[in-house]
Amino acid sequence: MSGGLISKKMKLEHGKMLKLLNDFVSGKKNSYEKLKDMQSRHASAEEQAIMIFYNNKKDFKLLRIILEQHEAMRGYIDEINTNPAVAKKFGDLMKEHIMLEDAKFYPMLDKDLTPTEQKEIFANFLYLFGQRVKAV
Ligand SMILES: [Fe+2]
Ligand SMILES: [Fe+2]
């Protein structure tokens, strides 16, 4: 993996999530279940594969914001199917969150981590994402 790949890979993952959000907002059948499943697994895999690892590095402020946003999204997700106001908050936060990760967090990891570290943590992310890890 050459420099900058972790951010490129995660941008592709985020693109899939934004598509599911869009399906949900436009009322596509079964989109709620898919969005909920994807968001839960994505955030859990990110936390386990990437953030725990990165905790040993630096910029705790950004990391803390990202973790707080994950928690807020976990708090909203069960209600977004029945409460339009919560659905709006969730959608806005999810877009803001993905923008923050794509613009700041992953580019920072591109710079701070070695290509080997980036390759390993992305492989771990994919492994955990595929494990259907439950958000706690
Ligand atoms: Fe995230
Ligand atoms: Fe993410």
Distance from residue 42's CA to the centre of ligand 2 (Å): 6
- Each residue's pLDDT expressed in tens, for the chain with a length of 136 residues: 445 789 999 999 999 999 999 999 999 999 999 999 999 999 999 999 887 777 676 777 888 899 999 999 999 999 999 999 999 999 999 999 999 999 999 999 999 889 999 999 999 999 999 976 554 4
Residue 34 placed within a domain: yes
State in Å: Cα 98 to ligand 2 middle.
Answer: 6
Boundaries of domain holding 44: 5-130
User: 135 in a domain, yes or no?
Assistant: no
What is the Rg, in whole angstroms, of the alpha carbon atoms belonging to the chain? Answer: 15
C-alpha of residue 82 to centroid of ligand 2, in Å: 25
For ligand 1, the distance from its centroid to the CA atom of residue 118, given in whole angstroms, is: 16
User: Could you please report the per-residue DSSP string of 4-69?
Assistant: THHHHHHHHHHHHHHHHHHHHHTT-TTHHHHHHHHHHHHHHHIIIIIIHHHTTSS-HHHHHHHHHH
Q: Is 136 part of any domain?
A: no
Per-residue pLDDT at 1: 42
Q: How far is the CA of 99 from the centre of ligand 1 (A)?
A: 10
**Prediction pTM value:** 0.90
Q: Which ligand is nearest to the CA of 97?
A: 1
We report the CATH number of the domain holding residue 46 as: 1.20.120.520
What are the residues whose beta carbon lies below 5 Å from ligand 1 (ion)? 46
Domains of the chain: total: 1
